[in-house]
Amino acid sequence: MNKDLLDGRLLFAIPKKGRLHDKCLELLSGADIQFRRPNRLDVCLVMNHPIAIVFLPAADIPSFVGNGDVDLGITGHDVILEAEMQDQVTEIHRLGFGKCALQVQTPEHGPFNSVEDLAGKRVVTSFDVIAGAYFAKIDERLNLTGDNKTKIQYVGGSVEAACALGLADGIVDLVESGDTMRAVGLHAIATVLQTEAVLIKSNVPHRSHYAPLIDLIASRIAGVVAADKYVVCEYNIRRQSISQATAITPGRRAPTISPLEEEGWVAISSMVEKKNIANTMDQLVNIGAEDILVFNMDNCRV
């Protein structure tokens, strides 16, 4: 990587592959961060901002942001904890994608149906720091010491095969849909943490003069995330029903209420979560709302 190419630019790291990569590219496009990535190169220059995009393994990004010269990064919340970088970086925004759960899993028809059953046994994981801290608390609570403590073993891949191949009594692994877990005969007995993609920055700014640019990029990304999460719901309703209506559609901050020419009626516009919009419209109909319209957003600022 050519250091001269990066000098004088804000460095923004995103995962070079894996489950977060494609969504990160969509996010950067929505934030109007324009770049072209040459083949086989892990760095490219942004054309409309003094930014260099650096493609790194997601697991390495917290360390590069917290201890290196990288200013911004996108990675998983779980990766930050596994790298023990939570005191070196700040999570600016949770991004709403890459959601999954880090769960303790055991054979579905085996003898271990709780973490207390599994304590003191063999656990295989790619998250040995998080899993070690999790089971250390359980061992302490159960007064397990010495050789009786839970044995945490790290493997870099194929964690879900560890029980079937005799390496483990249970595993700690990420679960998204649960299809792989069920396919290999495992079931979840506990959730260690919920995770998703996050935008992070260093707690110690590397280039203080780029603080306004960092705020600008963070604001744009927050707008893209909000536009993906919310729709705009507009409707007309009688003035005496405003309190009921605003309880149903409180908006992200507050609804916009405008008077109509017809006396006793108002128009209300509010941001509503996409996942709730069908129920929200039903509730509005029940209190007398009319002309209910829903609009998708391409982008916004929140």
| Residues 75 and 115 occupy one common structural domain | no
Domain boundary among 150, 172, 206: 206
Say if 218 falls within a structural domain.
no
pLDDT at 291: 95
| Count of domains forming the chain | 3
pLDDT at 5: 59
Q: What is the pTM of this model?
A: 0.85
pLDDT at 19: 79
Say if 281 falls within a structural domain.
yes
Average pLDDT per block of 10 residues along the chain, 302 residues long: 67 90 92 86 91 94 94 96 95 93 94 94 96 96 93 91 93 89 91 96 87 94 94 96 96 92 94 96 96 93 84
Compute the half-sphere exposure of residue 217: CA atoms within 13 Å on the CB side of its CA. 27
CATH (domain of 75):
3.40.190.10
Residue 95, burial from CB neighbour count under 10 angstroms (0-12, 13-18, 19+) = buried
**Is-contact 104 163, C-beta < 8 A?**
no
pLDDT at 120: 95
